[in-house]
């Protein structure tokens, strides 16, 4: 209850601030912008306090004082512009938008519940296909943030500063600290943020396209995306349709029950355009948090400067536009520690749009450029400390960041896996064909959108940003969220031009069905996926660790990504799974050898315990499977302080036991 009340205070403050600063925006958009801004404040203010105090209950109460100061500043610098009220256009838009927001919100709530350490009757914790890998990393950030001082230590690699964007997870850490269950602290933001993202995208698309019906088509292109992968899945599978069990049913069974056999994510077939809901918004929490903020930023920039579509902005003077750009700069400047890719994409979009705007208004450069200058200055003031202290630090310490790599995941030694255009056609499908054709139309709004979107596309197409080439999709999807609206609007234009064709409704229905089929299969697969993450004895070990270990204790464990000590209890370990560390650019071969050496020869590896200040040794099923472990020697050296019911999980306490072992050797 305290966690919900705390969050509601921030949401109310966000709505109040937007009401003071952006009164010319539609009321429905002010509420949406306010909810996003309030959420951003809750991510930041307790974290700021934690740099000088701690991420504790006291720190969160102190953050409320900062929140009051933010509200006071918003009131002092409030705009005197008349408040815009809801009109008929807004009400008609809500009739289209709200059902989509509620439907996709309900879907996400169900997926969050089934995919977030759902407890079974025997006490084990279960997840879904999409969260089987990523969730445990995010849980470690959430649980290790509680009562910690910032900057955070990387719980998966003790002694290493956490430079990964952490605000999405510390937001859940706030809810967890204030009494919400660990599971619900993930489910609540995952669901609410998705609803805000869906509404925000539709509000943005409304500014680009010609009608509310086209907004619906844009939303379908973005959220039920998937391309033409289903053609590969069901290719030549209808031959025995009337004899025995049809082959296409066997393939459908593979899609629904296999591990990553959906037609949107099959690397062996070069199908990589993952469904936005099933493969990104659900498992990739920083991606979701980034979209929560980057979409409002894009909306604010677009409504201030896009030609022909500046609804309710044409009558505003340049000073008022500058105010809107300053607010956008505040939100943009707070993005890097939430989602760096979104921050970069927003910067690239801005470069394209400001160039277009300056060329178009070259006779009045000062008036045109001043609001953009405000945006740039505010963004840089707020973002540079984050970039210098965290982002650039990670790039400098890691490996394989920032390298030339043409054509995203389609490139291979000596050429391309698929033809250049065919790669995007088969992955994105009909929307890609439509958006390319739209570029040849004389539409100022579409061209303005493309000038920003394709700057993102070009960088993502030529530069690999992280060790994982697949991660460039976090840029491609922002290019796509803009261009999908253009594709939908062009599709509506073609539909109108086909007025004389009696079959145009059938053709339109076919386009919708083909565009949504692969994505629908991916979402359906997630709805039925079910995988055990932690068994009941691992959960019991995590309960012991949470109750008996301090935040400073270090535990030596194996390197399997399913690790209850770091994920559920939030305790620091010597060296975690390469599933996370390698892709964050953190590779330490010496630590890996030390962990192996200790488990296999503990009596000869006492310096490992001393080097990493180890306080506990965790031995579970994965440790016994991954190492030729000498548990007998460990048991002789250190007292066992926890043993699960069947003995499959044991925890040994090093403090005191190490001295006894040294005396025995003497």
> Which percentage of the chain shows pLDDT scores above 70?
93
Q: 351-404: per-residue pLDDT in tens?
A: 999 998 888 765 566 666 788 899 999 999 999 999 999 888 777 565 566 788
Question: Does residue 43 surpass a pLDDT of 80?
Answer: yes
How many Cα atoms are found within 13 Å in the side-chain-facing hemisphere of 185? 27
- Other C-beta atoms closer than 10 Å to the C-beta of 405 total 16
Checking if the pLDDT of 489 tops 60, the result is yes
Q: In this structure, are residues 97 and 117 in contact, taking their beta carbons and an 8 Å threshold? A: no
Note the pLDDT of residue 246.
79
Total tally of structural domains belonging to the chain: 1
567 occurs within a structural domain: yes
Q: Sign (positive/negative) of CA torsion 166, 171, 174, 177?
A: negative
Query: Which pairing describes strands 125-127 and 118-119: parallel, antiparallel, or unpaired?
Result: antiparallel
Task: Name which of 221-235, 461-475, 537-551 the model is least confident about.
Answer: 461-475
Secondary element (H or E) of residue 13: helix 2-21
- What residues are paired with 555 via a beta bridge? 573, 616
For residue 32, tell me if it sits in a domain.
Answer: no
Residue 648 domain flag: yes
Sign of CA dihedral 332, 335, 339, 343: positive
Assess if residue 108 is contained within a domain: no
> Which residue's structure tokens are 């393939």?
251
**C-alpha distances in Å from residue 598, one per residue of 370, 464, 605, 619:** 62, 37, 5, 12
**pTM of the predicted structure, to 2 decimals:** 0.94
Is the confidence at residue 664, as pLDDT, over 60?
A: no
CA 476 vs CA 165, 455, 621: distances in Å: 19, 10, 40
pLDDT at 310: 47
Residue 368: per-residue pLDDT: 67
- Mean pLDDT over 609-627 rounds to 96
Would you call 157 helix, strand, or coil by DSSP? coil
Q: pLDDT at residue 665 above 50?
A: no
Listed range (332-341, 439-448, 579-588) with the worst mean pLDDT: 579-588
Output the six-digit token pair for 594. 């030390």
Coil vs helix vs strand at 506: helix
Return the closest-CA partner of residue 340 out of 274, 290, 397: 290
Per-residue pLDDT, 367: 66
User: Could you give the 3-state DSSP secondary structure of residue 607?
Assistant: helix
- Rounded to a whole number of angstroms, the distance between the first and last alpha carbons of the chain is 57
- Can you give the pLDDT at residue 341? 96
- For residue 643, the domain's CATH number is 3.40.50
Bridge partner list, 153: 161
The string of pLDDT tens digits covering residues 91-117 is: 999 999 999 999 999 999 999 999 999
Tokens of 64: 């409320």
The pLDDT, as a whole number, for residue 307 is 65
Is the pLDDT confidence value at 308 over 70? no
Mean pLDDT computed over 216-224: 98
Residue 125 pairs with which residues in a beta bridge? 119, 534
Describe the crossing of helices 365-386 and 318-333 by its angle, rounded to 10 degrees: 20
Q: Find tokens 């599933």 and name the residue.
A: 579
> Is residue 630 domain-resident?
yes
Q: Contact, 278 vs 520, CB < 8 A?
A: no
Higher model confidence: residue 411 or residue 288? Answer: 288
pLDDT value for 183: 98
Of 80-84, 236-240, 421-425, where does mean pLDDT reach its minimum?
236-240
The pLDDT of residue 660: 42
Assigned domain for 582 exists: yes
Res. 662: pLDDT tops 60: no
pLDDT per position as a tens digit, 257-300 = 999 999 998 999 999 999 999 999 999 999 999 999 999 999 99
CB neighbour list of residue 559: distance below 8 Å, 6 or more residues apart: 575, 576, 577, 578, 592, 595, 626
Q: Which of 67, 57, 64, 285 is nearest to 177 (CA)?
A: 57
Q: What is the pLDDT of residues 505-525, one digit of tens each?
A: 999 999 999 999 999 999 999
Could you give the CA distance from residue 342 to residue 336 in angstroms, rounded to a whole number? 8
Instruction: State mean pLDDT over 443-454.
Output: 95
| Amino acid 35: pLDDT | 98
Instruction: Give the separation between CA 544 and CA 177, rounded to whole angstroms.
Output: 18
State whether residue 136 is helix, strand or coil: helix
Domain of 578?
535-665
Q: 111 vs 168, 258, 477, 527, CA distance in Å?
A: 18, 18, 21, 6
Residue 27 is assigned to a structural domain of this protein:
no
Mean pLDDT (the chain) is 92
For 414-483, where are the E strands, in sequence order?
Answer: 415-416, 463-464
CB 409 within 8 A of CB 361: no
115, two tokens: 């995919």
What pLDDT score was predicted for residue 85?
A: 87
Question: Running DSSP on this structure, what letter comes out for residue 263?
Answer: T
Domain-located, residue 120: no
Q: What is the pLDDT of residue 467?
A: 81
């Amino acid at each position: 209850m305290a966690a919900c009340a705390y969050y509601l205070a921030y949401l109310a403050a966000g709505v109040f601030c937007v009401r003071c600063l952006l009164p010319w925006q539609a009321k429905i958009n002010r509420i949406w912008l306010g909810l996003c801004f309030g959420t951003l404040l809750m991510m930041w203010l307790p974290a700021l306090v934690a740099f000088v105090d701690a991420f504790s209950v006291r720190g969160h109460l102190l953050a409320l004082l900062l929140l009051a100061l933010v509200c006071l500043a918003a009131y002092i610098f409030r705009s005197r512009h008349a408040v815009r009220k809801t009109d008929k256009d807004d009400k008609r838009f809500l009739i289209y938008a709200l059902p989509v927001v509620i439907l996709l919100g309900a879907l996400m709530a169900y997926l969050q519940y089934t995919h977030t350490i759902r407890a079974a009757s025997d006490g084990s914790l279960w997840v879904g296909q999409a969260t089987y890998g990523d969730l445990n990393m995010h849980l470690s950030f959430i649980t290790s943030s509680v009562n910690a001082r910032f900057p955070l230590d990387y719980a998966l690699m003790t002694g290493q500063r956490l430079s990964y964007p952490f605000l999405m997870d510390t937001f859940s850490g706030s809810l967890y600290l204030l009494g919400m269950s660990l599971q619900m602290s993930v489910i609540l933001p995952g669901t609410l943020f998705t609803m805000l993202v869906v509404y925000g995208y539709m509000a943005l698309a409304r500014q680009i396209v010609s009608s509310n019906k086209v907004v619906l088509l844009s939303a379908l292109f973005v959220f039920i995306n998937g391309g033409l992968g289903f053609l590969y899945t069901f290719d030549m599978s209808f031959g025995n349709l009337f004899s025995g069990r049809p082959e296409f049913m066997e393939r459908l069974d593979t899609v629904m029950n296999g591990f990553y056999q959906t037609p949107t994510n099959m690397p062996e077939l070069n199908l990589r355009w993952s469904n936005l809901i099933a493969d990104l918004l659900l498992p990739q929490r920083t991606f979701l948090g980034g979209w929560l903020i980057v979409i409002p930023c894009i909306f604010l920039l677009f409504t201030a400067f896009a030609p022909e579509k500046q609804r309710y902005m044409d009558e505003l003077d340049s000073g008022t536009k500058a105010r809107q750009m300053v607010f956008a700069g505040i939100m943009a400047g707070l993005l890097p520690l939430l989602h760096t890719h979104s921050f970069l994409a927003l910067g690239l979009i801005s470069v394209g749009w400001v160039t277009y705007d300056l060329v178009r208004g070259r006779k009045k450069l000062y008036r045109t450029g001043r609001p953009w200058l405000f945006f740039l200055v505010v963004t840089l003031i707020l973002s540079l400390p984050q970039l210098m202290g965290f982002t650039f630090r990670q790039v400098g310490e890691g490996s394989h960041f920032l390298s030339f790599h043409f054509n995203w995941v389609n490139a291979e030694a000596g050429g391309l896996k698929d033809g250049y255009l065919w790669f995007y056609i088969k992955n994105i499908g009909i929307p890609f064909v439509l958006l390319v054709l739209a570029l040849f139309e004389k539409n100022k709004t579409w061209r303005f959108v493309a000038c920003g979107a394709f700057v993102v596309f070009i960088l993502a197409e030529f530069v690999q940003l992280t060790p994982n080439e697949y991660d460039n999709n976090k840029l491609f999807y922002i290019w796509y969220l803009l261009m999908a609206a253009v594709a939908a609007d062009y599709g509506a234009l073609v539909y109108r031009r086909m007025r004389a064709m009696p079959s145009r409704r059938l053709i339109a229905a076919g386009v919708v069905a083909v565009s949504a089929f692969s994505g629908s299969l991916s979402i359906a697969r997630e709805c039925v996926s079910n995988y055990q993450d932690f068994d009941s004895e691992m959960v019991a070990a995590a309960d012991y660790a949470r109750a008996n270990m301090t935040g400073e204790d270090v535990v030596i464990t194996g390197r399997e990504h399913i690790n209850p000590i770091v994920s559920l209890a939030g305790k620091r370990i010597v060296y975690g799974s390469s599933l996370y560390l390698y892709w964050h650019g953190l590779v330490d071969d010496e630590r890996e050898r030390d962990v192996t050496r200790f488990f296999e020869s503990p009596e000869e590896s006492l310096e490992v315990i001393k080097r990493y200040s180890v306080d506990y040794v965790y031995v579970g099923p994965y440790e016994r499977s991954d190492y030729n472990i000498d548990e007998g020697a460990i048991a002789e050296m250190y007292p066992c302080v926890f043993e699960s019911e069947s003995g499959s999980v044991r925890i040994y306490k090093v403090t005191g036991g190490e001295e006894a072992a040294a005396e025995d050797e003497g």
